[in-house]
Amino acid sequence: MRLFPIRRSAIAVAAGFLVLLAACGPNNDTDSSGSDAAATSGFPVSIENKFGTTTINAEPKRVVTVGLVEQDALLALGVVPVATTEWFGKKPGAVWPWAEKALGSAAKPEVLTDTDGIQFEKIAALKPDLIIAMYSGVTAEDYATLSKMAPTVAQPKNQVDYGVSWQEVARTVGTAVGKKAQAEKLVTELEARFASIRKEHPEFVGATGLMATTYEGYWVYGPQDPRGRLLQDLGFKMPDGLAEVTGQEFGANLSKERIDLLDTKVLIWLLDSYDTDKAKVQGDPLYTKLKVNTEARDIFLVSEEEVGAATSFISLLSLPMLLDKLVPQLKFAVDGNPSTAVQRI
């Protein structure tokens, strides 16, 4: 299981499905209906995205997430989506343990998949009044189809697909559901925690950091990926030359000629198997020569274990637990002293 979103081509929409949407009536960005009550509660609101501007006229009651992590922002704000889109882990409702307290006794959302593309028919049947697709790769065609069902918040402008930060997800979702101030408070509190960590660990600030996995050799996550942004929030900087490798994508495969990019002060691996994949990495003759290996600066996480999963599933709800677990290991790694061994977490 590789913890990065899989790209897919645009899916053709069947003619019969378009008829169904037409019969349901328009529920899209240009719908100007709205009550005085909606206006007094902070609606309508307009949110810009990659494909245009989405207007939400009233507080949504039936929210569907097409993006892969947005359910956490909703739950943190007290909004339970009617459906979520499965990324990995096969958790009931696509709700991970770190989000279960926020879900409480509410019914778990219906789970959609995007393995073969967005499940448009199922989404239409749920009769959503808001669709959130920020951490996604939806196309203009997808967006147009979804917008016929409900106002759709797609990827932010001028950002790579699957590159939106946890802060922007939280703030945008907060605006979309009428909880902007609450979202801002949660973001501010978490950013204060990051600032505190940087103050407590000045050795993090300016040190090079990188996240990688063993997909088709070595895959590295770039500065526009949430995993790369996590390290930057902690004070680390990306290695020189990484942006040229990843380009306008959230990550890229690393050629053997550029394995030097792995030789950072801290390197976090996301693996399918702790023993097998760790042994494979540490058995690579090129890798064994790097200081990141000889000085025990590397941290190995299993993708579908809770800490490894949270490292990809970066959100308002996963970050508190993740920081508790990961920061002590980063301290051991960054010192470059093999006697302060990084522990499995």
Residue 256 has what pLDDT? 86
The superfamily in CATH containing domain 15-179 is Nitrogenase molybdenum iron protein domain (3.40.50.1980)
SS3 assignment, position 114: coil
Query: Which tokens sit at 215?
Result: 């997909």
pLDDT for residue 25:
42
What superfamily would CATH give domain 201-334?
Answer: Nitrogenase molybdenum iron protein domain (3.40.50.1980)
Nearest-5° Cα angle at 166, 160 to 171 = 105
Which residues belong to CATH 3.40.50.1980 in the chain? 15-179, 201-334
Predicted confidence at residue 74, as pLDDT, reads: 98
Q: Residue 244, CB half-sphere, CA atoms under 13 Å: how many?
A: 6
Selection from 324, 333, 343, 334 nearest residue 196 by Cα: 324
Q: Which two tokens stand for residue 117?
A: 């593309």
pLDDT less than 70: residues of the chain = 1-41
What is the pLDDT at residue 31?
A: 41
Q: What is the reported pLDDT for 248?
A: 86
